[in-house]
Structure 1
Amino acid sequence: MPTPPSLLRPRDSDALRAEIRRLASVAGVPVLFGGEVDADTLRLTEFSGVRTNGLRGLSVTRASGLGGQVVDSRQPASVSDYRSALSITHHYDGPVLGEGIRSVVAVPVVVSGRSRAVLYAATRGAGPIGDRTADALVQGGRRLAAEIGVRDEVDRRLRLLEVAAPSPAPGGLVAEELCAVQAELRAIADAAGDERMRDRLREVGERLNRALAGDPVPGTPRLARREIDVLLQVALGCSNQETAQRLSLGPETVKSYLRSAMHKLDAHSRHEAVAAARRLGAIP
């Protein structure tokens, strides 16, 4: 099932291309390629080191060939001599052998129990691909899976917002959920591995905050990003310790941000700070 489009989400093929470029510098093999999986069909779109166009745009069906096998099993697999391999079907011999490929390893990119892409490393010479190359490919698959997983989670939370958005003045449980989504979105931004993705997430978080909280009251104190992060967690009922765990900060650092926010908002308690921040439009 394809991932629903999102205005925020960059194309996953860009992340796949970046990972193949990274692997090209460390894997020690002449040929690297890969593609995304959509409706159980793998389509090869990204390449490094190929000499022909035979593999470009090739669609590999589930359980067919080496790639289809790893899509189905969700486990890495390899063959040391593609032409004579008995462990795979040979539906794609034309483009593979036309590229001169003999030894190849394929690694699935598994997210939430489903193959979302496949990475390949190949040589044109005899003999199996070494453990160093295979390990590099597995690590690349894990990095790509983590990146796609972050993007999926952002999309899921944005869809929650779309469902709740029609309510002009959300209250009760809906307001609490919107606040939770905003807090989690900011936390995901901090955890995102891609700097461009992180910056875009933070930008969307700020836009979301303005949309939910409304325009700030003139003269509202300017709160730092981390002060807002802490107040959002406090608004959800989190203790300082829980806030520290959620934001990957030390408890004393959380206290420092909270004290600073309270001072700026002229509040005498954490709850007064949340109420003042909401009243002034600083948080939802």
Structure 2
Amino acid sequence: MTSLLRPRDGDALRAEIRWVAGRASVPVVFGGAVDEDTLLLTEFVGTVTTGLRGLSVLRTSGLGGQAMEHRRPASVADYRGSSTITHHYDAAVVGEGLRSVLAVPVLVADRPRAVLYAATRGTAPLGDRTAEVILQAGRRLATEIAVRDEVDRRVRLLELATPTTTAPAATEELREIHAELRALATVTGDPALRERLSGVCERLTGVLTGEPAGAAPRLSRRELDVLAQVALGCSNQEAALRLSLGAETVKSYLRQAMSKLDAGTRYEAVARARRHGLLP
């Protein structure tokens, strides 16, 4: 069942394909998500026919299937004449006029989750610049999907926690989930997902602490991000790694939060934030 929190991965895939098309000197860029052992081509830039649209590529079949099977990029300089791939999809590929093609698998936990393609209609091989751009897009998309997977895992853990659970161990687990969700919100490249994660964090805080006190200081999202990591016992360096920030930046946010909370130490700041209902 798809999480209501999780945006469609196709949106992230489409964004990366458009990013490649805007930065690489290549006429055709396309791709799709992998479900089990089947790649479904859904996103295209530069195509002139509909032959590739909705095409299902099976694992080991064609260039994309080879990339999925071996979990590494695969390329051909002349698709029609290549002896290194199967030719199950020649009608669609040749109908589009594609000759030189590069397929890059998007791997998450060593499992193909999507495949990105770059292609030309000439026999000249794709340049190093194009290859580097599409490989970078593949890495970015893999990171984004991994973040979304972790969000789903954490949200499922939240759903398993009953509102009446007040045991100290359960409370600490919920606090850890809260901090992890805040950290994930800082690294996702999807603004809509970031806002949804922030909303989940606020709801979780409300469930565990009630509404913030009327006189509660107004802490920024980043200040709360840092305090949530400090509450887990993280050092500034550890918080920086979890939030993808510099250690000095974390230190600055922590100082600002301590000042707003009138706290003398980092742990006093956490305690005061909890009393104000700002942290679970």
**TM > 0.5:** yes
* Structure 1 unaligned residues grouped into runs of 5+: none
Q: What secondary structure is seen at the aligned counterpart in 1 of 2:103? A: strand
- In 2, distance between residues paired with 1:93 and 1:47? 18
Identity of aligned residues (%): 60
CA shift, 1:275, in A, is 3.5
* Structure 2 residue 220 is matched with structure 1 residue 224: yes
- In 2, distance between residues paired with 1:273 and 1:105? 53
- In 2, distance between residues paired with 1:128 and 1:61? 25
Once the two structures are overlaid, the 10-residue window that deviates more, 216-225 or 32-41, is 216-225
CA shift, 1:225, in A, is 2.8
Q: Deviations over 1:54-77 (max 9, x none)?
A: 111010111011001101111001
User: CA 1:245–1:47 in structure 2 vs 1: closer, same or farther (change >3 Å)?
Assistant: closer
CA shift, 1:258, in A, is 4.7
Q: What secondary structure is seen at the aligned counterpart in 1 of 2:139? A: helix
* Structure 2 residue 77 is matched with structure 1 residue 71: no
User: CA 1:49–1:210 in structure 2 vs 1: closer, same or farther (change >3 Å)?
Assistant: same
- In 2, distance between residues paired with 1:113 and 1:244? 27
Alignment root-mean-square deviation, CA? 2.1
Matches within 5 A, 1:1-284: 4-164=1-161, 166-247=162-243, 248=245, 249-250=247-248, 252-253=251-252, 255-263=254-262, 269-284=265-280
Q: Deviations over 1:175-204 (max 9, x none)?
A: 111111111211221222233433332233
Q: Does the CA-based 8 Å contact 1:189-1:202 persist in structure 2?
A: yes
User: CA 1:130–1:274 in structure 2 vs 1: closer, same or farther (change >3 Å)?
Assistant: closer
1:257 corresponds to which letter in structure 2? Q
CA shift, 1:244, in A, is 4.6
- In 2, distance between residues paired with 1:256 and 1:10? 35
Q: Deviations over 1:134-188 (max 9, x none)?
A: 2211111111111111111111111111112x14143312111111111121122
Q: Deviations over 1:78-101 (max 9, x none)?
A: 111111111001111111111111
Q: Does the CA-based 8 Å contact 2:261-2:272 persist in structure 1?
A: no
Once the two structures are overlaid, the 10-residue window that deviates more, 113-122 or 240-249, is 240-249
- In 2, distance between residues paired with 1:240 and 1:82? 52
Q: Does the CA-based 8 Å contact 2:62-2:89 persist in structure 1?
A: yes
Q: Does the CA-based 8 Å contact 1:29-1:121 persist in structure 2?
A: yes
1:253 corresponds to which letter in structure 2? S
2:156 corresponds to which letter in structure 1? R
* Structure 2 unaligned residues grouped into runs of 5+: none
User: CA 1:231–1:138 in structure 2 vs 1: closer, same or farther (change >3 Å)?
Assistant: closer
Q: How many residues align?
A: 277
- In 1, distance between residues paired with 2:177 and 2:231? 12
TM-score, normalised via structure 1 length: 0.89
